Chain A
Amino acid sequence: MENLRYLIILLYLASTVSYLLYLFIQKDGFHRAGIYLLIAGVGIHSAEILYATVSSGQLPATNLYDALSIAAWAIALVFLVIQFRYKIRILGIFAAPLAAMVTILSTRLPETPIPAQNIFNSIWFIIHIVSVFIGDAALALACGVGLLYLLQEHAIKAKKRGFFYSRLPSLELLDTTGYACIVVGFTMLTIGLITGFVYAKAIWGRFWSWDPKEVWSGITWILYAVLLHERLTVGWRGRRAAIMAIVGFCVVLFTFFGVNFFMKGHHGQFTTF
């Protein structure tokens, strides 16, 4: 299993290098290489997760080691989907290294197996985990697109067309992509929360128990709900939406890591090391 993960890291890293070359040299070949390498990485990664799920009878998300691996897989997967839909090539420069970094981080952690408990077998649990991770990945990409938007916006506003101006797509495309990422992220987060409630009800007998992770997930959800609402009503688009996407993702990160380090709760055991 360990070797397989090194292979995955290698593929993600190779994809990162291709995208870096694409950024500097602007030849289509590098972009194509980048995306094929990433597809190969995601393919093997999916197989690894599937194998672990089947052999242990539960989704491998019970410790931080596995959770990070799933996070990386989700980032790469969501990026591929976004790329095919919006043809926003340059986003690879953000997604590929992120996937590589998170996977590397996962291998640096001790693999402390948690004895299989039947609380992890529920279908609600699987949907909960998968949708939350895909949602977080989409929000991570929204943050990346937001950063690119700010770079490009600054180039046009300041009338200083530097390195990025010709390499980044139009503001409109960046804005639409960012919006799409947030819609996907928010939807998945909502599904994740609902399945979480259902699951909590089944296991602990109550929907909501003021667990810090629950609280922070709620805050995140409200934040993105406000962002989407404002966009639809008064048109929070462009610069403000980009900044909000970045701020929102910081909160996501805190919910993902921070809560486990600073606070205790029933999610703690999945992500401690």
Chain B
Amino acid sequence: MAAIILLGLNHNTAPVELRECIAFSEEDTELALEELHERTEFKEILLLSTCNRVELLLVTDDRETCVAEAKQFLAEHNRVPLDDVEPALYVHEGADAIRHVFRVASSLDSMMVGEPQILGQIKSAYRTATQKKTSGVILNRLLHRAFFVAKRVRSETGIGDHAVSISYAAIELGRKIFGTLEGKEVLLVGAGEMAELAVENLIRHHAGTIWVANRTFERGLELATRFGGRAIRLEEIPESLQHVDIIIGSTGATDLVITSDHVRAIMRRRKNRPLFFIDIAVPRDIDPAINRLTNCYVYDIDDLKEIIDENIEDRNREAIKGERIVEEATIRFSQWCDSLAVVPTIVALRRKMEDIIDEQIDKTLGGLKHFSETDREAFDRMKQALINKMLHDPTMFLKSNGCLGDRSLYLDVTRRMFNLDNER
């Protein structure tokens, strides 16, 4: 009987140095699939490679050889000694492998629980496998199930809710203040990776003009050109507060760049439209006292980090619900896998026929009261004989090795053709 095996390493078991050695590029993946597909033990193969994990999902009849060969392959293909790779590898089989696939797809196994990229990465890994024709009846069904489970986990739990990065947390807050960020003008004071990331996110939310103020005007001009905005000098900041709505502070200055007095002077001219200050500089650029002014909101890096920590806790709580959904799906998928054995299929087929004939006999004999008990027994014997004769050839076929090594395909076809799982 075919077994599902999952073998791989992830951010928990392998350090980044090892993960980057083992990683497969798009082309590598195709080559690997081709190479493994030539070996007869590997009946179905899927290779998932992301920056946090490399996993081989396999269907095989011969698990020992398969696992050994797969390990060997991972090491050799990437020219890493097997002894280095082996301790980082985990091997799951049957229900454990199924559960693992579902958890990965639902982003419950991710470094950042609930991050949305993983599902897309699995989808593309599956697409590659189908193009290379290395996925078969079991993996097709497993992966489609996994996509469905992932969707359910995302829609029924809050694992994807709330920002878990500084720039997204700032965006979320901005939307709670302004409703929409569309057309809101942004002043970037200083530069820095995190600040620029935040500005890019704001632009994605259709923010208005981006103003850039920098100690060196050239650098400011350069950034402004990149964001399609305008550069101003540091001295112009107090004046610019009249026009902008969101201020991001990110300078290396030791003193405050924007003080409470600056803001107080400008609020009346702004007609009290709200101002949102995001201070990601250490030491701080923006006077915390500004937060006490009406319609002004100041969040510094610690405030944002606190929000993120809370959100991560929320996600982890939600993940528990996700685990339940995964468990349910795992049980149901395991049942389907078990049903793919020959005997249960034949038994189910027999029962189906018995049910049909019983129903028809009852219907016919219901109107014919003159048959005796002995007559009825004769009908019953006829029923058994009919079923035996009818099922003889299908049984022989399913039990034989004539299925070209892919018995699960024919079992699946049989089950679906006769609707043995009551799916219709």
**Chain A interface residues toward B at CB < 8 A:** 152, 156-157, 159, 161, 165, 169-173, 234-240
Chain A contacts of B178 at CB under 8 A?
Answer: 170-172
Within 8 A of A (CB), among B170-200: 173, 175-180
B72 at the interface (CB under 8 A from A): no
**With A and B bound together, what is the CA distance between A157 and B179 in angstroms?**
16
B294 at the interface (CB under 8 A from A): yes
Give the number of residues in B that approach A within 8 Å (Cβ atoms): 22
User: Assuming A156-B297, A157-B291, A157-B297, is B270 touching A235 (CB within 8 A)?
Assistant: yes
When A and B form their complex, which 4 residue pairs have the shortest distance between CB atoms, in order from nearest? A235-B271, A172-B179, A170-B179, A235-B272
**18 contacts across the A-B interface (CB closer than 8 A):** A156-B173, A157-B297, A159-B303, A159-B306, A161-B307, A161-B310, A169-B179, A170-B179, A171-B177, A171-B179, A172-B177, A173-B179, A234-B272, A235-B268, A235-B270, A235-B273, A237-B271, A238-B274
- Kindly name the residue among B175, B177, B272 whose own CB sees the greatest number of chain A CB atoms within 10 A: B272
User: Assuming A156-B173, A159-B299, A159-B303, is B271 touching A239 (CB within 8 A)?
Assistant: no
With beta carbons under 8 angstroms apart, the residue of B175, B268, B270, B307 that contacts A170 is B175
Chain B contacts of A159 at CB under 8 A?
Answer: 299, 303, 306
B295 at the interface (CB under 8 A from A): yes
Chain A contacts of B306 at CB under 8 A?
Answer: 159
**With A and B bound together, what is the CA distance between A159 and B299 in angstroms?**
8
With beta carbons under 8 angstroms apart, the residue of A156, A234, A237, A239 that contacts B176 is A156
Within 8 A of A (CB), among B335-383: none
**With A and B bound together, what is the CA distance between A237 and B295 in angstroms?**
8
User: Assuming A157-B291, A157-B297, A238-B294, is B176 touching A152 (CB within 8 A)?
Assistant: yes
**With A and B bound together, what is the CA distance between A173 and B299 in angstroms?**
21
**With A and B bound together, what is the CA distance between A169 and B271 in angstroms?**
22
**With A and B bound together, what is the CA distance between A156 and B177 in angstroms?**
8
User: How many residue-residue contacts, CB under 8 A, span A and B?
Assistant: 51
**With A and B bound together, what is the CA distance between A170 and B291 in angstroms?**
18
Chain A nearest CB, measured from B112 CB (Å): 20
Chain B contacts of A171 at CB under 8 A?
Answer: 176-179, 274
**Chain B interface residues toward A at CB < 8 A:** 173, 175-180, 268, 270-274, 291, 294-295, 297, 299, 303, 306-307, 310
- Kindly name the residue among B295, B297, B310 whose own CB sees the greatest number of chain A CB atoms within 10 A: B295
Chain A contacts of B272 at CB under 8 A?
Answer: 234-238, 240
Chain A nearest CB, measured from B108 CB (Å): 22
Q: Given A157-B297, A172-B177, A239-B295, 11 more contacts at CB 8 Å?
A: A157-B291, A161-B310, A170-B176, A171-B178, A172-B179, A235-B270, A235-B272, A235-B273, A237-B271, A238-B274, A240-B272
**With A and B bound together, what is the CA distance between A236 and B267 in angstroms?**
11
Chain A contacts of B307 at CB under 8 A?
Answer: 161
Chain B contacts of A152 at CB under 8 A?
Answer: 176
**With A and B bound together, what is the CA distance between A239 and B274 in angstroms?**
10
- Kindly name the residue among A157, A159, A165, A237 whose own CB sees the greatest number of chain B CB atoms within 10 A: A159
Chain A contacts of B271 at CB under 8 A?
Answer: 234-235, 237
With beta carbons under 8 angstroms apart, the residue of A169, A170, A173, A239 that contacts B294 is A239
**With A and B bound together, what is the CA distance between A170 and B274 in angstroms?**
12
**With A and B bound together, what is the CA distance between A157 and B291 in angstroms?**
7
User: Assuming A159-B303, A159-B306, is B297 touching A165 (CB within 8 A)?
Assistant: no
Residue of B nearest to A159 (CB): B303
Chain A contacts of B179 at CB under 8 A?
Answer: 169-173
Residue of A nearest to B311 (CB): A161
**With A and B bound together, what is the CA distance between A216 and B307 in angstroms?**
47
